[in-house]
Amino acid sequence: MAIFSKEEARRILEKVISFSKADGIEANLNGSNGGNIRYARNTVSTSGEDSNVTLAVQSNFGKKSGTATINEFDDASLEKVVRRAEELAKLSPENPEFMESLPQQTYGESKTFSEATAKITPEYRAQAAANSINPASAKDVTAAGFLDDSHNFASMMNSKGLFAYNQSTSVNFTATMRTNDGTGSGWVTRDFNDVSKLDTAEASRVAIDKAIMSKEAKAIEPGKYTVILEPAASAELLGNMFFNMSARQADEGRSFLSKKGGGTKLGEKLVDERVNIYTDPFNAEVPASPWTGDGQARRKMDIINGGVVKNMFYDRYWASQKNVAPVPFPGNIIMQGGSASLEEMIKDTKKGILVTRFWYIRSVDPQTLLYTGLTRDGTFYIENGKIKHPVKNFRFNESPVIMLNNLETLGKQVRVDGDLIPYMKIRDFTFTSLSDAV
Amino acid sequence: MPAIVQTLNLTTLKRRDFVSLSGLALGGLVLPLPAFSKNVPVEYLLDSPIDVKQKKVLADVALNTARSLGATYTDVRIGRYLNQFLTTRENKVQNTVNTESFGVGVRVIANGTWGFAATNDVTNDGVKKATERAVAIAKANSKFQKEPVKLAPEKGHGEITWKTPIQRNAFEVPVSEKVELLLSANSAAMQNGAAFANSNLFMVNEQKYFASSEGSYIDQDIHRIWPTFNVTAVDKAAGKFKTRQALSAPMGMGYEYMMPKEADKLKGPNGIILYKNSYDIIEDAKVGAQQAKEMLTAKSVEPGKYDLVLEPNHLGLTIHESVGHPLELDRVLGYEANYAGTSFATLDKWKAGNFKYGSPHVTIFADKTQPGSLGAVGYDDEGVASKRWDLIKDGVLVNYQAIRDQVHILGQNESHGCCYAQSWSDVQFQRMPNVSLAPGKDKYSIDQMIKDVEKGIYIAGRGSYSIDQQRYNFQFGGTVFYEIRNGQIAGMLNDVAYQSNTQEFWNSCTKICDESDYRLFGSFFDGKGQPSQVSAVSHGSSTARFNGINVINTGRTI
């Protein structure tokens, strides 16, 4: 029983708060029921379920705070965890950056829960795997994949009277299909809050087709190419950029958003003016929790608009130092797309490379947000509006900032890892070497 | 915004999960923690919840229950996993976190199929129920099993104990003493030109009791420690910043690693100080700040071919990615295809018996025995005694890393003893042992090596790292770079990364320094599997020379 209802959570948290002898207390009660199935070599290798609930209590005396957690919920345990947090707080040095709890906030209506996902059974997972393995083995292809689902609840309360509660569900599916001669590989990823949108047979077909299409890739010279990036390819590079948009780092002069001579690039044009990126926890396709772990309300908000940096993220401490409103880290990212389909984007390309995904992306230079990584599982050469042949994988060295300045075309949006990212055509994307990896 | 400790080998740990954790307890630094960890006060860490006799009673409950339900093999791991993390920034302690995780995992073979279940209810009844679940899962999965599990034989070891040979238990050192050391390091950095300094100390203690139906009852007490820092120099007028990481290594040691001994210090080129089995964090922070400042104006590298002189704290990561991972047998077989990938080092290359992985200078061995290493244990997580074996002998591929249920695929009758689970709640599987480059046999120092290089670059410390899913093409950066011209250090370089192919790279190895230069690199966070598990691993080497490697310039303007 890892999912507590709103009333059960409220009752436990009220009890926790009532045990407090500190200046302040904040408690987070979270739980999940999860399940997964993994397969490789066309057979299921592992499957399992797990469930857990954790209560975390943070107590503070002035600016000294301590945190303790527990996963038992009888009265004695609740009191014990509060006492432990208080003991730790007393032992801790003062943290000048400690922020007092927030009073009650107003949150929007959450859209993160789906009944169908909460009801996933082991039989469903076994069938989902079979629907991926069977079409592969019928085509001389070997399937490896992973399906992972969870039903979660999150709740918090503090001594200032704030209470927040949310339930969410998620399902993630990935499959790698390799041709049995070892020369072709394809991959697909899908993630949803609502599992009824997931069809592992449909998804697996995409990966199987790519595996067969990518057989016996030809080597072409590395260099600067026009690329069509599938949303799964650009998602992680963009994510890295957002993750580095902390206002404090920029103010301290150690961010790609720091400016020569001091100051930051807030309000300045950073990328192509057709780039519009925002967050919206209430988007039906990619819903996110309406509140953050410390109780701040999440709202729809621009991050980049018309290519201009509209918001950087301020934690509560840094916002108080700078006399601005805190800007919490977003729960999702939505990048506006265009109307072009992938087929149309290929048709409009004279010479270019279609990229399914990037792999092993690592930071090379935080100053310029330069990243390296490789293409993987389906890389194709486009000539005169048609896919000509598969190409060997490339290593790239590129910055998402440069990439978004070299934007040619925006295509349709796709959900990837909880975000909405469009297909993108980018010119002068820098490939620096070739890889023999399949 | 929290910094991320990135795992080696994989990229898909979700950033959002890290962010949600960070609000809770971990402050400026976010770590992938095993499930069910809970925070506890430090004093609590020093009491043991149950003694070894009670553990044997509990283990026998599992072994007897499983046998009565028809299991042909059973192992039980009763584990208590303790962590302490201290994080500081300039003159502030950001967080002190203690976590404890206690529970039991039971693994069985029934109907020729594995089954696993775990519980944090460490009582006779809890263990019995988990065992029943493990057997039920094995029986259910056996319907889909194509071939029965085939275990390499392993004799029972009876009742036995093993402990990391530490001199001072880091958990017993007062938090105030540890915090003071970190703050002193930050202060040394600030006094030497750093604008920002973050330092951290991580301590791990795994108390693991393993029992199997083959008659082993093994009680182990394993310790690891990792001090590290980042110091940043900023030139606001030029809009530039440079960060220098610590040149420490995570070690399988106690707090004695934090007490510097002169005998453990090596003088590298241009005043760089390198550390063996003890570390001087204050000294390294001071030098680190000076080097970060120097980087702000250092020369940008001219791209081209260079002879690289690679220092062990740098070379360890190259060994990890280009030798350690491709020689994991389960990966070679395709079990990791959907995640980390497969391997270029296929079985046919090994069977041929003459696959030249590297030059004749290159002998790379695996082990779980080197004192002070992260991999060192008495027995692995399926009760196999630790050993050492060659992977590459005089340049030729000779073996892989395999555990009891896969080593028969190599025609071998004995597990290599490299099975590991990150906690009691995760199922154990093949994990990388220490994988190390044997030192050169002839006496040869770093100074001599530099003297012999005409056009080269000396690289110390770890930096950016990326490699493809079959481990052919890689790109590595480093912590500090020095140009070598006509046998002399010609000054610091910026924007250096080298790109190569695994086989070409190891075949270009022309010289390795002798044993007196041998040191360990390590990582707490080698990731593998779905759901993902982390494991700690060391890589030893002496400074080595690689001829004619392609160096690129990573400088850009945005």
pLDDT score, position B46: 61
Are residues A390 and A268 part of one domain?
Answer: yes
- Nearest-CA residue of chain B relative to A240? B15
Give the whole-angstrom CA distance, residue B96 versus residue B85: 6
Between A321-330, B37-46, B485-494, the lowest mean confidence (pLDDT) is in: B37-46
End-to-end Cα separation, chain B, in angstroms: 22
Give the whole-angstrom CA distance, residue B346 versus residue B503: 13
Contact B19 A329 (CB under 8 A): yes
Are residues A374 and A268 part of one domain?
Answer: yes
Chain B neighbors of A92, CB-CB under 8 A: 93, 96
Chain B neighbors of A311, CB-CB under 8 A: none
- Nearest-CA residue of chain B relative to A271? B558
Chain B neighbors of A35, CB-CB under 8 A: none
Alpha helices in B432-558 (DSSP H): 446-451, 502-507
pLDDT score, position B45: 58
- Nearest-CA residue of chain B relative to A27? B24
pLDDT score, position B94: 84
Chain B neighbors of A95, CB-CB under 8 A: 92-94
Residue A435 makes CB contacts below 8 A (sequence gap 6+) with A374, A392, A393, A394, A395, B468, B472, B473
Place B43 in a pLDDT band, splitting at 50, 70 and 90: low
Q: Are A417 and B13 in contact (CB under 8 A)?
A: no
Are residues A270 and A361 part of one domain?
Answer: yes
Chain B neighbors of A127, CB-CB under 8 A: none
- Nearest-CA residue of chain A relative to B35? A52
Verdict on whether the full-model pTM lies above 0.80: yes
pLDDT score, position B167: 97
- Which candidate, A180, A200, A69, A71, places its Cα nearest to that of A132? A200
| Section B292-307 average pLDDT | 98
Contact A397 B554 (CB under 8 A): yes
Chain B neighbors of A91, CB-CB under 8 A: 41, 175
Contact A56 B237 (CB under 8 A): no
Number of other residues whose CB lies within 10 A of the CB of residue B168: 15
pLDDT score, position B454: 98
In a domain, A1, yes or no: no
- Nearest-CA residue of chain A relative to B232? A254
In a domain, A15, yes or no: yes
Domain that residue A286 falls in: 217-438
Residue to mutate among A33, A259, A365, A371, with most B CBs inside 10 A, is A365
Q: How many domains does chain A have?
A: 2
Condensed to tens digits (0 to 9), the pLDDT of residues B435-461 reads 999 999 999 999 999 999 999 999 999
Q: Are A281 and A328 in contact (CB under 8 A)?
A: no
Place B10 in a pLDDT band, splitting at 50, 70 and 90: very low
Give the whole-angstrom CA distance, residue B141 versus residue A48: 11
Q: Quick check: helix, strand or coil at residue B431?
A: coil
- Nearest-CA residue of chain A relative to B333? A41
Last residue of a domain, one of A159, A182, A212: A212
ipTM score of the complex?
0.93
Contact A433 B531 (CB under 8 A): no
Are residues A227 and A135 part of one domain?
Answer: no
DSSP B323: I
Number of residues assigned to chain B: 558
Chain A neighbours among B 387-406 (CB < 8 Å)? Answer: none
| Section B490-513 average pLDDT | 98
Contact B466 A363 (CB under 8 A): no
Number of residues assigned to chain A: 438
Are residues A231 and A207 part of one domain?
Answer: no
Nearest chain A Cα distance for residue B209, angstroms = 23
The answer, for B240 touching chain A at a CB cutoff of 8 Å, is yes
Domain with A15 in it: what CATH number? 3.30.2290.10
pLDDT score, position B38: 52
Are residues A231 and A162 part of one domain?
Answer: no
Contact B477 A68 (CB under 8 A): no
| CA dihedral for B116, B118, B122, B127, sign (positive or negative) | negative
pLDDT score, position B15: 35
- As a whole-number percent, the residues of chain B with pLDDT over 90 amount to 84
Instruction: Delimit the domains of chain B by residue range.
Output: 33-230, 300-553
Residue A127 makes CB contacts below 8 A (sequence gap 6+) with none
Give the whole-angstrom CA distance, residue B389 versus residue B380: 15
Condensed to tens digits (0 to 9), the pLDDT of residues B171-229 reads 999 988 999 999 999 999 999 999 999 999 999 999 999 999 999 999 999 999 999 99
Q: Are B99 and B82 in contact (CB under 8 A)?
A: yes
The answer, for B445 touching chain A at a CB cutoff of 8 Å, is no
Residue from the list A87, A176, A313 with its beta carbon closest to the beta carbon of B41: A87
Chain A neighbors of B139, CB-CB under 8 A: none
Residue A102: both structure tokens together: 């927030």
Are residues A301 and A386 part of one domain?
Answer: yes
Strands B509-512 and B544-553: antiparallel
pLDDT score, position A1: 54
Are residues A125 and A248 part of one domain?
Answer: no
Residue from the list A28, A47, A174 with its beta carbon closest to the beta carbon of B338: A174
Place B6 in a pLDDT band, splitting at 50, 70 and 90: very low
Which CATH superfamily groups domain B33-230? PmbA/TldD superfamily (3.30.2290.10)
* A-B contacts at Cβ under 8 angstroms: 220
DSSP B428: -
Chain A neighbors of B36, CB-CB under 8 A: 52, 71
- Nearest-CA residue of chain B relative to A406? B558
Q: Is the pLDDT of residue B36 over 50?
A: no
pLDDT score, position A364: 97
Are residues A192 and A269 part of one domain?
Answer: no
Condensed to tens digits (0 to 9), the pLDDT of residues B524-540 reads 999 999 999 999 999 99
3-state SS string for B62-127: HHHHHHHCCCCEEEEEEEEEEEEEEEEECCEEEEEEEEEEEEEEEEEEECCEEEEEEECCCCHHHH
Residue A71: both structure tokens together: 């996963």
| Section B477-483 average pLDDT | 98
Contact B473 A373 (CB under 8 A): no
Cis peptide before A328 (omega within 30 of 0): no
Between A134-143, A195-204, B1-10, B69-78, the lowest mean confidence (pLDDT) is in: B1-10
Residue to mutate among A26, A72, A146, A367, with most B CBs inside 10 A, is A367
pLDDT score, position A267: 98
Are residues A267 and A125 part of one domain?
Answer: no
Residue A26 makes CB contacts below 8 A (sequence gap 6+) with A57, A58, A101, A156, A157, A158, A159, A294, A295
| Section B88-102 average pLDDT | 85
pLDDT score, position B1: 25
Condensed to tens digits (0 to 9), the pLDDT of residues B358-398 reads 999 999 999 999 999 999 999 999 999 999 999 999 999 99
- Which candidate, B218, B11, B557, places its Cα nearest to that of A365? B557
| Section B347-368 average pLDDT | 98
Residue from the list B15, B19, B472 with its beta carbon closest to the beta carbon of A436: B472
- Nearest-CA residue of chain B relative to A369? B558
pLDDT score, position B101: 84
Are residues A253 and A139 part of one domain?
Answer: no
The answer, for B465 touching chain A at a CB cutoff of 8 Å, is yes
> pLDDT in tens for each of the 438 residues of chain A?
589 999 999 999 999 999 999 999 999 999 999 899 999 999 988 888 878 788 999 999 999 998 888 878 889 989 999 998 898 888 888 888 999 999 999 999 999 999 999 999 989 999 999 999 999 999 999 999 999 999 999 999 999 999 999 999 999 999 999 999 999 999 999 999 999 999 999 999 999 999 999 999 999 999 999 999 999 999 999 999 999 999 999 999 999 999 999 999 999 999 999 999 999 999 999 999 999 999 999 999 999 999 999 999 999 999 999 999 999 999 999 999 999 999 999 999 999 999 999 999 999 999 999 999 999 999 999 999 999 999 999 999 999 999 999 999 999 999 999 999 999 999 999 999 999 999
Amino acid at B168: R
